[in-house]
Amino acid sequence: MNWSLVDPGVIRAWLICETGSRWLTAVRRFGPDMVPEELVAKVESASRDEILANLTFSEPSIVLWEVRRNSLAAHCDSLARSSAINPKALQIIACHHLTHREKACLAPFPVAAMVQHPEELPRLTRMIHLHFARWTQFID
Amino acid sequence: MVSGTGIRPFARLLDKSKASVWVISPGGKLIYLSLGCSQWLGFDSALLLDRRSVAGAAISDEKLDLIAAALAPPAELMRRGTASLKITPPALERHRPEAREVRFLKVGNGNTALILAIAGDFDDRLPDPELKDAVAIRQQLDSWRRQHAATAINIAAGTSTQAVRLRRRIHVAASTRTDVGLFGPPGSGGESILMRIHELSAPGENLINVDGPLMDSDLLDATLMPARHQLAENKDARVTALVRGLDEMPFEAQQRLASLLDTFSGRLRLLASCGAQLIELNAPTDDVISDSLSFENDRASGLCSQLIDVISSLTIVNPPLALRVEDIPLIATAMLDTRHAAGEGPAERINRAALDALVIYPWPHNYKELEDAIRHSTRTATGSVIACEHLPLAIRSYQPGSVSKRAKQSKISLDDAIQRYELRLINETLESADGNRAEAARRLGISRARLIRRLDDHSPGTSSSKEAR
């Protein structure tokens, strides 16, 4: 996609931080239909540092973190930092075999939703619409 | 047997590893305790040698005997040969030993069997997460089958709103003998749903299959001839016509069918499958409208108004599979279950990677395509699990289309895009020419004046740049 042809005002970044490509594939499949008609989702895979750097542009965006047991602490830090950098970023957690106790550890952080499998993504459509409606103005 | 002397090299290695390992003789006495046991228990574990370590056996009040008994295996060990137990030994002095997972293993048979115990951190008692997921899907499926034992049609499985609505409609249709119109895209299994509805709502009633698109009024008459005779001869007789592709049936044939339904009102029932386009059955009708115009409207909807009146008794909408993404794992498992029960292949479950592939695939041919995929996988899989490599090539190699294909074209204004592209090209050329406008213009093959004009047009604050944005 030549993004220079698309009005930058309607592009919404959907950043994915994960091991492998399970969620990137899933978001590429369902993501474009989950954003409002007026907007275009730009789905990209990114490392934790890249995401934190990208969020400084303060555009409304979606970040999907795949959280594994061994990276729980690092992700708690990422969640806290990214919400401080850009409150317009909607943060979604993709739990990779986390126990209830481990999921509870994420509760204090600004997590909009937790999903376990790709088929759960379309359920978040309404929430994503509301998120963009809150932060997007003057779209004809 | 001499305590701790027969296996010295091994014992030395165990002591070095600091692992807590102990051995219980066939007579139930501790005959070896590694150095790690001393560290765990907080005293010299050699004090426990030759003390009885049998679950449930009578022991003295001596603390060391209590500790030795705490190290005993559960009774089930002798039967199973292996056992797990979390042990918290009593404290001998101030040191309180921590609770530890212990694995017991019976070595040998009969009266000469030794018991080997190893304490440590194990996670083998936690279920495999993948297996846990499979169990969850299985439980969902079992629960759905229990709740909808009669109308348990595989494609109606699921927890989505669409699945719930589909089930409710099927339930109503199955509990009363009425005309039914089922709307769904090609491959949505409408015929199997209608057959099930017929079996439940009118068991034993004569059923005549009609292939809608192939009919003309004469052929329809011929197809329904036996039914007409039966209905004419016996006033109590009842017949159901199951019409596939009612909306593709020629209009003349539709009108003939409507006339027959009217003639044998109630006794000839219509179960019809139609395309994905749901007719607006509740749309207001204009009584003043001319007949010719009304006929044109009928053609546009694919159904004549008399048949719309008939199927408005009960309509069922079966949405495309692509709109029921969250139900796909359950539907696929239900389909696999049906095949496994019929003795087709050894596969009992679908692994998570394969389920992911099924979820991601857009299913242009709907439930029929999923059914075909499961049949293919069942035949290909050699073990009890269907993996990605067992799925049809089209599904396992599917990658969601590039974003450009899915990008909403309405977002791209040609003028805006050309202006952005032009500006980017000018800026890049200017940059490569170190800001020299004359050189940049030469490289772009335009005049310097034109380049400056374009830059002015695009500079912030100009009206054209505002328009471009």
SS3 content of chain A, % helix, strand, coil (to 5): 50, 20, 30
Predicted pLDDT at B242: 94
Chain B, nearest residue to A40 by Cα: B407
Sign of the C-alpha dihedral, residues B138, B140, B144, B149?
positive
Could you give the number of structural domains in chain A?
A: 1
Residue A32 lies in a domain: yes
pTM above threshold 0.90: no
Let me know the angle formed at the C-alpha of B59 by B53 and B37, rounded to the nearest 5 degrees. Answer: 35
- Who among A26, A40, A119 is closest to B326 (CB)? A119
Domain boundaries, chain B: 8-120, 129-153+325-400, 161-317, 409-468
Measured distance CA(B402)–CA(B292) in Å, rounded: 47
CATH topology identical between B129-153+325-400 and B161-317 = no
Q: Does A126 touch chain B (CB under 8 A)?
A: no
Q: Which domain holds residue A103?
A: 13-135
In A26-45, the residues whose Cβ lies within 8 Å of chain B are 26, 28-30, 32-33, 37-43
Query: Quick one: which of A58, A66, A78, A80 has its CA closest to A13?
Result: A58
- Which chain A residues contact residue B401 at CB under 8 A? 28
In the beta sheet, which residues pair with residue A16?
A45, A64
Q: Is residue B386 within 8 Å of residue B370, measured between CB atoms?
A: no
Please name the amino acid found at residue B366.
N
Give the alpha-carbon dihedral of B259, B264, B267, B269, to 10 degrees: -10
Q: pLDDT tens for residues A31-52?
A: 988 988 888 888 999 998 888 8
The CATH number assigned to the domain holding A53 equals: 3.40.50.2300
Residue A69 lies in a domain: yes
Contacts of range B95-103, beta carbons closer than 8 Å, 24 or more positions apart: B95/B41, B95/B42, B95/B43, B96/B42, B97/B40, B97/B41, B97/B42, B98/B40, B100/B20, B100/B40, B101/B125
B409-468 topology per CATH: Arc Repressor Mutant, subunit A (1.10.10)
Q: Does B420 touch chain A (CB under 8 A)?
A: yes
Least confident of A83-92, A121-130, B135-144, B290-299: B290-299
Tokens found for residue B309: 């009146």
SS3 content of chain B, % helix, strand, coil (to 5): 50, 15, 35
Contact B360 A26 (CB under 8 A): yes
Strand B206-211 relative to strand A11-17: parallel, antiparallel, unpaired?
Answer: unpaired
Q: Does A107 touch chain B (CB under 8 A)?
A: no
Tokens found for residue B183: 């709307």
Q: How far is A30 from chain B (nearest CA, A)?
A: 8
The dotted CATH code for B8-120 is: 3.30.450.20
Distances in Å between the alpha carbon of B68 and those of A18, A40, A113, B22, B337?
49, 69, 51, 11, 51
- Which chain A residues contact residue B360 at CB under 8 A? 25-26, 29, 118
Measured distance CA(B140)–CA(B137) in Å, rounded: 5
Give the alpha-carbon dihedral of B161, B166, B168, B173, to 10 degrees: 170
Residue A2 lies in a domain: no
Sign of the C-alpha dihedral, residues B382, B386, B390, B391?
positive
Name residue, tokens 């030795």.
B68
Tokens found for residue A6: 């698309």
Q: Given a cut of 90, is residue A132 above it in pLDDT?
A: no
Could you list the pLDDT tens digit for every one of the 469 residues in chain B? 445 556 678 878 888 888 899 999 998 999 999 989 998 998 888 899 999 998 877 777 788 888 999 999 988 888 888 998 889 888 887 788 888 889 999 998 888 889 999 998 776 766 677 888 888 898 988 988 888 877 778 888 998 999 999 999 999 999 989 999 999 888 888 888 999 999 999 888 899 999 988 988 889 989 999 888 888 888 889 999 999 999 889 988 999 999 999 888 889 999 999 887 655 554 444 443 434 444 455 555 678 888 888 888 888 988 999 999 999 999 999 999 999 999 998 999 999 999 999 999 999 999 999 999 999 999 999 989 999 999 999 999 998 865 444 445 445 567 777 877 888 888 888 888 888 888 888 888 888 888 888 887 766 554 444 443 3
- Which chain B residues contact residue A124 at CB under 8 A? none
Predicted pLDDT at B126: 62
Q: Does B262 touch chain A (CB under 8 A)?
A: no
Contact B326 A97 (CB under 8 A): no
Contact B356 A22 (CB under 8 A): yes
Sign of the C-alpha dihedral, residues A19, A22, A23, A25?
positive
Q: Which CATH superfamily is domain B161-317 in?
A: P-loop containing nucleotide triphosphate hydrolases (3.40.50.300)
Q: Does B285 touch chain A (CB under 8 A)?
A: no
Contact B328 A119 (CB under 8 A): yes
B129-153+325-400 topology per CATH: Helicase, Ruva Protein; domain 3 (1.10.8)
> Mutation test of the interface with chain B: which of A1, A2, A6, A99, choosing the one with the most B Cβ atoms within 10 A?
A6
Let me know the angle formed at the C-alpha of B175 by B169 and B180, rounded to the nearest 5 degrees. Answer: 55
Predicted pLDDT at A82: 86
